[in-house]
Structure 1
Amino acid sequence: MAAQNRPVSPHLQIYRFMWTMALSITHRMTGMFLTIGTIFLVYWLVSIAAGEAAYATAQGLIVSWPGRLLLFAWTLAFYFHFCNGLRHLFWDAGQGLELSQARLSGYLAVVAAIILTVVTWVAAYLVDGGAL
């Protein structure tokens, strides 16, 4: 009878959501999102080879608001995955494993991803003359 009074998962009582855990989950999600984005990149490249009409259709999808939003999200996912991947490389070398260092490097990865995304899009608009 005493076995019924014990909690099934004792760790659930002390479990709490942490920043480093959120970044780990986000890293996996951005990896999947990048894979899906790569499929759309391949579609765009194939449309170039398929001819002018196919390219115009693909380009129309890309420059639409939903297309630009997905492209922006893909850019952000790329930079986050890259910056967080660098963080993991440092961990593999035994650096930055203290909780405070891991938390700080996580914030730096997010901030760097945001800055790199904004810089990329601003540069693209400047190079393209705002026609993106």
Structure 2
Amino acid sequence: MSTSPLPGDASNDPSDHQTGRFVRQPNGRVRPLSPHLQVWRWHVTMLASILVRVTGGALAVGVLLVAIWLMALAFGPDAYAVFTGWMGSPLGLLVWIGLTAALAYHFAGGVRHLIWDAGEGLTPKSANLLSTASIAFAVVVTVAFWAGLFMTGRVVL
């Protein structure tokens, strides 16, 4: 049998507790607050999930930068020179390196989800391994890509 208080019953109202673990909903019901991150211990699959969302947002910004690049290309040599001057600066290169890492990780996270959607890699050990591998993949691809650009002289500081 439920021991939750009736609406208006002030004698047994959990929202009056000093712990702050309860809240009164707009419909009058008293509910416990979600423990969220206070209870859960961080692990690599949580990090991987959060990184997929963050890299998705970063790639949305990256699409805008690519659109600006194409517009600068369409507006002529002067506009293109201004854009390449900004994006060729150390700060611009940092942005491009970050977008490369975001693209590599988002791709790896998508592959990880495809594997999970196929019903494979769902045990905690293999899920942790796939998550760690997707992070490592993004780091290796990003470093290799930009090292190749710098070593061939296509990008200079």
Q: Same fold (TM over 0.5)?
A: yes
Aligned to 1:41: 66
Aligned to 2:94: 69
Highest relative contact order (Cα 8 Å, sep 6+), 1 or 2? Answer: 1
Structure 1 position 3, deviation (Å): 4.5
Instruction: Check 1:36–1:3 CA distance in 2 against 1; reply closer, same or farther (3 A cut).
Output: same
Aligned CA-pair RMSD: 2.0
Structure 1 position 128, deviation (Å): 3.2
Q: 1 or 2, which has the higher helix percentage? A: 1
Aligned to 2:75: 50
In the alignment, the residues of structure 1 paired with residue 151 and residue 74 of structure 2 have an alpha-carbon distance, to the nearest angstrom, of 28
Q: Mapping of 1:71-110 within 5 angstroms?
A: 71-110=96-135
Worse overlay, 54-63 or 117-126:
117-126
Q: TM-score, normalised by structure 2?
A: 0.76
User: Which runs of no fewer than 5 residues in structure 2 stay unpaired?
Assistant: 1-10, 23-31
In the alignment, the residues of structure 2 paired with residue 101 and residue 121 of structure 1 have an alpha-carbon distance, to the nearest angstrom, of 30
User: Which runs of no fewer than 5 residues in structure 1 stay unpaired?
Assistant: none
Aligned to 1:17: 42
Structure 1 position 31, deviation (Å): 0.4
Q: 1:111 aligns with which of 97, 117, 136?
A: 136
SS state at 1:112 partner: helix
Q: 1:28 aligns with which of 48, 53, 57?
A: 53
In the alignment, the residues of structure 2 paired with residue 81 and residue 89 of structure 1 have an alpha-carbon distance, to the nearest angstrom, of 12
Structure 1 position 127, deviation (Å): 3.2
SS state at 1:59 partner: helix
In the alignment, the residues of structure 1 paired with residue 43 and residue 13 of structure 2 have an alpha-carbon distance, to the nearest angstrom, of 31
Sequence identity percentage: 33
Q: 2:145 aligns with which of 108, 120, 124?
A: 120
In the alignment, the residues of structure 1 paired with residue 138 and residue 127 of structure 2 have an alpha-carbon distance, to the nearest angstrom, of 16
* AA matched with 1:81: H
Q: Deviations over 1:59-103 (max 9, x none)?
A: 001111111111110000110111111000000000101111111
* AA matched with 2:144: V
Structure 1 position 48, deviation (Å): 0.9
Count of matched residue positions in the alignment of Structure 1 and Structure 2:
132
Q: TM-score, normalised by structure 1?
A: 0.89
In the alignment, the residues of structure 2 paired with residue 130 and residue 72 of structure 1 have an alpha-carbon distance, to the nearest angstrom, of 12
